[in-house]
Amino acid sequence: MGKNIDLIQILTLVIVAMFIPFLISIIINYRLDLSNIGDLIKMHFAGLFLLFFGIELIIVYLYFNITNLLAKKKMNNQKEK
């Protein structure tokens, strides 16, 4: 269980570390004003990128768990022989 918590913490750190520079770069490049509702909506649509990135990280997490389970099964089979 400790491996899963470590992996979740690392993936969460990656999401946060990607979000802050991404948000700042959008604000600077497109000269968005955070007090303007129209600009906030533009940032919302640009934030869909982060949603897809989060989905990708979930897939990485699932891949890690599945390969870990398969490796454990293979190791147990090798020990029995």
pLDDT digits (tens, 9 = 90+) for 17-36: 877 887 888 888 888 787 88
- Extract the residue ranges of the chain whose pLDDT is less than 50: none
Distance of alpha carbon 22 from alpha carbon 18, whole angstroms: 6
Distance of alpha carbon 65 from alpha carbon 58, whole angstroms: 11
**CB-count burial class (<10 Å; 0-12, 13-18, 19+) for 41:** exposed
Nearest to 32 by CA among 12, 54, 47, 17: 47
3-state class of 4 per DSSP?
Answer: helix
pLDDT at residue 37 in the model: 84
Single pTM value for the model: 0.58
